[in-house]
Structure 1
């Protein structure tokens, strides 16, 4: 599997638990390419949601369908950033985000992490 930072990938998050991401949903790969090229078995992602009302949450980023390769607008839910095991990531990206959207997502991540 060759994935890069900025790819939109489908991830199987499994059964719903509390407010965590669940089921199969698109996510943005936010891990740096040099780390993706190692043998580390996890990938750092930000889940996407079709609930565009979440755009108003500080740090979240609207991802237009035309920019993502998905069939509808989505929101990058940066507060749910986390690692996923590679075996749960579809090997074929659905799309790739432009640098301006990745910059907005990176800013959102810094906001929620306080760095």
Structure 2
């Protein structure tokens, strides 16, 4: 399976610990295509349609964008590597580049001292 940055897939995040996002859910691939092609894992940010308190690590995605059927949030604070053979299922769509840019900013906010 060829997986590319910006693609949205259903992923199985079980088992989890503590407050990690769980269940079978959409996620966007954020790792670059060199990693995606050559590594056994890809880096993803999970997507939820459960809205609560938002911050700079949450990126809003309107319904009908990237194949999503509901208004959703990309949770950049839950970034993680997953095995691409064991955890990735069906492709949903492709995240628009303008939203990917916001996701990159959210990830930078989480992992850097900006």
Report the TM-score when normalising by structure 2: 0.91
Unaligned regions of 5+ residues in structure 1, if any?
none
1:22 aligns with 2:36: no
Q: What SS is found at the alignment partner of 2:9?
A: strand
| Number of positions where the alignment pairs a residue of Structure 1 with one of Structure 2 | 112
For 2:36 and 2:92, locate their aligned partners in 1 and report how far apart those are by CA, in whole Å.
18
1:60 aligns with 2:58: yes
Partner in structure 2 of residue 5 of structure 1: 5
Report the TM-score when normalising by structure 1: 0.90
Q: 1:52 to 1:42 in 2, by over 3 A?
A: same
1:16 CA drift (Å): 4.5
Unaligned regions of 5+ residues in structure 2, if any?
none
For 2:51 and 2:4, locate their aligned partners in 1 and report how far apart those are by CA, in whole Å.
25
| Structure richer in strand, relative to its length | 2
Range moving further from structure 2, 66-75 or 24-33: 66-75
Q: Runs of at least 4 residues of structure 1 off by over 4 A? A: none
Superposed CA RMSD: 1.3
